[in-house]
Amino acid sequence: MALIRIGFFSEVLGMCTSCDVILPQLPDADAPSRTFPAMYLLHNLTKSHSTWQRMTSIERYANHFGAAVIMPDAHLSSYADMLHGGRFFTYIADELPGIMEGFFPLSGKREETFICGSSMGGYGAIKIGLSRPEKFGCIGSLSSGYTSYRGYISQKDDRGLSLQYLTFGETGLDEEDVETAEKARALAQSNANVPRIFITCGQSDPILLDNARQARDFFSAFEGNPFDFVYTEHPGGHNWNFWDGHICDFLRYAGLEPGPV
């Protein structure tokens, strides 16, 4: 596997940004060229694009499943187009896939393009995946649901500012959650490009277990399970031990099988 740390200019963000990419290597120069399925893997709150490959064995798992892993940086954005900040939703949903497919041999096929994340990243993955179902065929959320965790982002700093205000304004977070739910309902009714959705959470998660269970109840209520929805709980908390232990559950759910690159 190759670990590539790449810096490039984002027109959407209006600045240079960074992304880590894990890419399978061909066995030799004479091997036939091929493209790889890609998982866009989103970090949690207060972390960065490097955290997944520093805190887990994601490179080893990517090699095991023969997949590319794209890990972008979204700062403290909640993967939203911030009211006072960068347009990170548009950047990851619309701009980043085209940039990555231009740089690397990624499949680009909907059925081989996935989005997943932990905590804030899981929330972002559901939001982005439901908004771009023609791009992402499978969505994974580890320790989160489709609604944001207000307990932390609503806290004000010594300037009287909160992440909730900077990102969504006073009422924008409620509107964002409603919009995500409406997109899910519209997709279920249309029966076109409906993404598959996988959510798992630790049974002792002190932060987002209620959010995950709210998402469980919401997606389980759709008649006929149009999202091929799977929800699981396992022993564990809101931490990297849990996420490292269950990211492969999502890769298998997405249809990837271990095998030679």
In the sheet that 68-72 helps form, which strands lie side by side, from edge to edge?
Answer: 2-10, 15-23, 68-72, 38-42, 113-118, 138-142, 196-202, 230-234
User: What integer pLDDT is reported at residue 261 of this predicted model?
Assistant: 47
Give every CB contact of residue 201 below 8 A, 6+ residues apart in sequence: 142, 143, 144, 208, 209, 212, 213, 232, 233
Residue 258's pLDDT is: 82
pLDDT tens sequence for the chain (261 residues): 899 999 999 999 999 999 999 999 877 766 777 899 999 999 999 999 999 999 999 999 999 999 999 999 999 999 999 999 999 999 999 999 999 999 999 999 999 999 999 999 999 999 999 999 999 999 999 999 999 888 889 999 999 999 999 999 988 888 999 999 999 999 999 988 999 999 999 999 999 999 999 999 999 999 999 999 999 999 999 999 999 999 999 999 999 988 754
| Distance of alpha carbon 248 from alpha carbon 251, whole angstroms | 5
Structure tokens, 55: 């805190």
- Predicted local distance difference test score (pLDDT) of residue 148: 87
For the record, the structure tokens of 157 come out as: 């700093």
List alpha helices for the chain, DSSP H: 51-55, 58-65, 88-90, 96-103, 120-131, 150-153, 163-168, 172-190, 209-220, 240-253
CA 123 to CA 89: how far, in whole Å? 12
Under DSSP, is residue 64 helix (H, G, I), strand (E, B) or coil? Answer: helix
CA atoms of 193 and 211, how far apart (whole Å): 25
Instruction: Write down the pLDDT at residue 29.
Output: 66
**Is the distance from CB of 49 to CB of 18 less than 8 angstroms?**
yes
- 8 Å CB contact between 202 and 236: yes
